[in-house]
C-alpha cells in the first residue's frame, strides 16, 4: 500500500516594502497610486500639493490644521492643500502681488505625481509627527533634516518622508487649506494666508541668495 504524501505548503515570499506601502495608501487612506516603481501618489483627486523650500514651508506650518499632512524630500517640503488649489495658485499669487516675482514655488494638481513617503511606523526612519500645539516656525525648523548632498538617498531625488503623516480612517479633505475658507468661519485652514507666507519666505530666500552672490571661482593651478 502506497502511503499518501502530506501536502506541505510552499514558503511565502515576504511582502515587498512598496507593496505594503501601496496597500496602506490605497486601502487605509483611499488614495490613488500610480502603477510601477517607485511608488507615486496621484494629485488632483483627494489633494493638491505645494512644493516649496523647507525653510519657507516651516514658516507656514502655523497656518495648517494639526491633521494637515506635510512631507519632506531633501530640502523641499510638500504641503498638501485642497484639490483645485494648484489651479488657483497663479491667480492667488497675482492677487497677493507676488505674481511678477520668480518664486521657488511649485504646485502639483490634476494629473500630477508625488513621490510617496514611506508610511509612518517604527521602521520608517523618518521624523515623527509634530506634537499638537508645537507648530510655530521655530520648532519645526529644528526637526527638519538638513539638506543632503546630491548623492544622498535623502536628497531631493531620494526618499520622501512624512513630517506630519495622514491618519487612516480620517477624511483628509477637512484638514487641508482651501480658498473657500476665506471669511467662511469653518474649520479648514485658509489657503490665502498659507500662500502669502510661503511666497514671502521664498522671496526672502531669493534675496539672500542674490546678496550672497555666486561662489568664488578658485584659480586653476598648473604644475
The pLDDT score that the predictor gives to residue 5 is: 57
Angle (CA) 110-161-85 rounded to 5° is 25
With beta carbons less than 8 A apart as the criterion, state whether 58 and 144 touch.
Answer: yes
The pLDDT score that the predictor gives to residue 1 is: 53
The pLDDT score that the predictor gives to residue 122 is: 58
The pLDDT score that the predictor gives to residue 12 is: 54
Q: How far apart are CA 78 and CA 68, in angstroms?
A: 11
The pLDDT score that the predictor gives to residue 183 is: 56
Q: How far apart are CA 81 and CA 68, in angstroms?
A: 8
Interhelix angle 85-95/191-212, rounded to 10 degrees, is 70
Averaged over successive runs of 10 residues, the pLDDT of the chain (223 residues) comes to 59 64 95 94 97 96 93 96 96 95 95 94 50 38 36 52 92 90 66 96 93 66 49
Q: How far apart are CA 103 and CA 105, in angstroms?
A: 5
Amino acid at each position: 500500500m502506497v502511503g499518501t504524501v502530506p501536502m506541505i505548503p510552499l514558503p511565502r515570499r515576504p511582502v515587498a516594502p512598496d507593496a505594503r506601502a501601496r496597500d496602506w495608501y490605497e486601502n487605509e487612506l483611499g488614495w490613488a497610486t500610480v502603477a510601477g516603481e517607485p511608488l507615486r501618489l496621484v494629485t488632483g483627486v483627494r489633494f493638491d500639493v505645494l512644493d516649496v523650500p523647507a525653510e519657507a514651508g516651516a514658516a507656514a506650518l502655523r497656518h495648517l490644521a494639526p491633521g494637515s499632512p506635510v512631507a519632506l524630500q531633501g530640502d523641499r517640503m510638500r504641503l498638501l492643500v485642497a484639490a483645485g488649489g494648484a489651479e488657483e495658485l497663479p491667480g492667488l499669487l497675482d492677487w497677493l502681488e507676488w505674481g511678477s516675482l520668480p518664486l521657488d514655488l511649485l504646485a502639483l494638481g490634476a494629473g500630477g505625481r508625488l513621490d510617496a513617503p514611506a508610511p509612518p511606523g517604527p521602521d520608517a526612519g523618518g521624523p515623527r509627527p509634530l506634537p499638537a500645539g508645537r507648530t510655530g516656525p521655530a520648532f519645526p525648523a529644528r526637526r527638519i533634516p538638513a539638506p543632503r548632498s546630491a548623492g544622498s538617498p535623502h536628497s531631493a531625488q531620494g526618499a520622501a518622508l512624512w513630517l506630519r503623516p495622514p491618519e487612516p480612517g480620517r477624511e483628509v479633505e477637512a484638514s487641508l487649506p482651501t480658498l473657500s475658507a476665506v471669511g467662511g468661519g469653518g474649520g479648514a485652514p485658509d489657503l490665502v494666508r498659507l500662500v502669502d507666507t510661503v511666497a514671502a519666505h521664498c522671496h526672502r530666500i531669493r534675496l539672500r541668495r542674490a546678496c550672497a552672490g555666486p561662489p568664488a571661482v578658485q584659480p586653476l593651478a598648473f604644475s
